[in-house]
């Protein structure tokens, strides 16, 4: 990627909703290419900057599916502010591991984990008002907002994320072909 | 009496009785498929092998080749329709590749790669389909069934046991086990059966061999399904 001194940098925001931060770790797996990326990109809201709210951005990268009310708010904030919104990883695309609870009753799940589990004496489902309310089902992000691109993988490799971002920033239509396109 | 037809503009010879798919494969042209298997008669249910002949959609696994046919297969239009069929299969079941033992060896997944499917596009159903782990050697994970009926056909026509069947219609269609209890352990199904190795996806899984092959060495990790299918005749 060419150096673009004087050019406005591409603003990128990232977040993890119902994810494990594995996709963010994979982002770091771009290794020294991060330095290349840093020449043309600046970060808005992201675990890398610790900025709490997203401003106007060019690219939003979303890891994880939508499992609670806060996820919905964050996702909508990203959609409002990002010109291009990208679903990164299996959970953002199809719910992934958190969605394995989707065929179970949410109340039964909470009872099983916080009340009925062996070894719990005085259990109780956490109800602190600080805690975001859970949705009855975990949703892929495209069921909540419009999504422009998808990068599958659990997680997508650093190579896949690099290929996608350099294509997008370089003005090419991003395309991940086999074997960069992977669902696991 | 054989002859020649045009496959994506290229002449393909055929012998009397060959289907479009058989003749195309013999000439080195891959057509995507899920329910078709070289050892079994055509089934025509998955519709991944659709091609256009004279402007009409047909299942290439079932339609006999005819002299002078003009067949369109590898076009953006037809591949787009095939991708939509795959996306519907993905949302209809529970296909979580990262936790599936079949990942890397799965035809559904490999076809999704082949046809550039990056998301399932539609809303997911997340159906409730409990697994059957009753058999000592084989696990049944119904979450991944795509209703190709290859296990039904293999068990009925090759093993002569009739262990599997599809029941219900439309969205309630599902795979069942032919035992009063409905459990695989209560049938004469055996790990050496043809039906035990026929599933193109991750429903019929041998126990104690999961994730034996590391990522990178699995069937479709490096080579695409079109390459593997043409080289190994699968």
pLDDT single digits (tens) A14-52: 999 999 999 999 999 999 999 999 999 999 999 999 999
**Residue B124 to residue A181, Cβ atoms within 8 A:** no
Tell if the CB–CB gap between B222 and A184 is shorter than 8 Å.
no
Q: How many angstroms separate the CA atoms of A94 and A87, rounded?
A: 10
Share of chain A above pLDDT 90, in %: 90
The answer on pLDDT for A3 being more than 60 is no
The CATH code for residues B97-229 is 3.30.70.20
| Region for residue B229 given its phi and psi (left: phi exceeds 0; alpha: psi -120 to 50; beta: otherwise) | alpha
Segment A133-163, tens digit of pLDDT: 999 999 999 999 999 999 999 999 999 999 9
pTM of the model: 0.95
Of A99, A102, A150, the CB nearest to B118: A150
Six-digit token string for A28? 């770091």
The predicted-structure confidence for A63-118, as pLDDT tens digits, reads as follows 999 999 999 999 999 999 999 999 999 999 999 999 999 999 999 999 999 999 88
pLDDT at A120: 86
Q: Sketch the domain layout of chain B as residue ranges.
A: 3-74, 97-229
Which ipTM was obtained for this model? 0.93
Per-residue buried b or exposed e for B204-226, using 16+ beta carbons within 10 Å of the residue's own CB: bbeeeeeeeeeeeebbbbebbbb
Residue A6 has pLDDT above 80, yes or no: no
Q: Which CATH number fits domain B3-74: 3.30.56.10, 3.40.50.2000, 3.10.20.740, 3.20.10.10?
A: 3.10.20.740
- Structural domains of chain A, ranges and CATH numbers in brackets: 10-100+134-169 (3.40.50.700)
pLDDT at A121 over 90: no
pLDDT < 50 positions in chain B: none
Chain B: give the shortest CA distance to residue A75, in Å. 17
């Amino acid at each position: 990627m060419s150096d673009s001194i004087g050019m406005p940098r591409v603003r990128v925001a990232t977040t993890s909703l119902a994810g494990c931060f594995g996709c963010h770790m994979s982002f770091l797996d771009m290794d020294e290419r991060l330095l290349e990326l840093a020449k043309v990109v600046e970060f808005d809201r992201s675990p890398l900057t610790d900025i709490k709210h997203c401003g106007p951005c060019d690219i939003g990268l979303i890891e994880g599916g939508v499992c609670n009310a806060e996820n919905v708010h964050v996702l909508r904030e990203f959609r409002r502010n990002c010109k291009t919104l990208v679903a990164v990883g299996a959970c953002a695309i199809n719910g992934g591991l958190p969605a394995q609870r989707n065929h179970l009753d949410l109340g039964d799940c909470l009872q099983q984990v916080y009340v009925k589990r062996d070894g719990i004496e005085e259990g109780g489902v956490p109800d602190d008002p600080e805690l975001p309310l859970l949705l009855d089902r975990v949703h892929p992000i495209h069921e909540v907002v419009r999504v422009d691109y998808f990068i599958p993988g659990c997680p997508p490799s650093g190579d896949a994320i690099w290929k996608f971002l350099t294509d997008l920033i370089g003005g090419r239509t991003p395309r991940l072909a086999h074997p960069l396109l992977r669902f696991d | 009496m054989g002859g020649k037809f045009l496959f994506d503009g290229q002449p393909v010879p055929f012998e009397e009785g060959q289907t479009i798919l058989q003749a195309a494969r013999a000439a080195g042209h891959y057509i995507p498929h899920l329910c078709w298997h070289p050892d079994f008669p055509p089934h025509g249910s998955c519709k991944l092998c659709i091609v256009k002949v004279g402007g009409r959609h047909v299942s290439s696994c079932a339609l006999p080749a005819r002299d002078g046919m003009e067949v369109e297969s590898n076009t953006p239009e037809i591949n787009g329709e095939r991708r939509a069929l795959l996306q519907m299969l993905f949302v209809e079941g529970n296909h979580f590749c990262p936790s599936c033992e079949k990942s890397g060896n799965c035809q559904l997944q490999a076809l999704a790669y082949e046809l550039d499917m990056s998301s399932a596009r539609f809303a997911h159903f997340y159906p409730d389909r409990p697994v059957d782990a009753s058999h000592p050697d084989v696990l049944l994970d119904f979450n991944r069934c795509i209703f190709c009926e290859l296990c039904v056909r293999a068990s009925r026509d090759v093993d002569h046991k009739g262990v599997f069947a599809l029941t219900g219609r439309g969205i309630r269609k599902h795979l069942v086990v032919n035992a009063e209890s409905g459990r695989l352990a209560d049938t004469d199904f055996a790990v050496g059966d043809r039906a035990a190795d026929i599933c193109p996806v991750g429903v019929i899984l041998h126990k104690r061999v999961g994730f034996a092959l590391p990522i990178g060495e699995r069937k479709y990790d490096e080579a695409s399904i079109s390459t593997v299918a043409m080289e190994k005749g699968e």
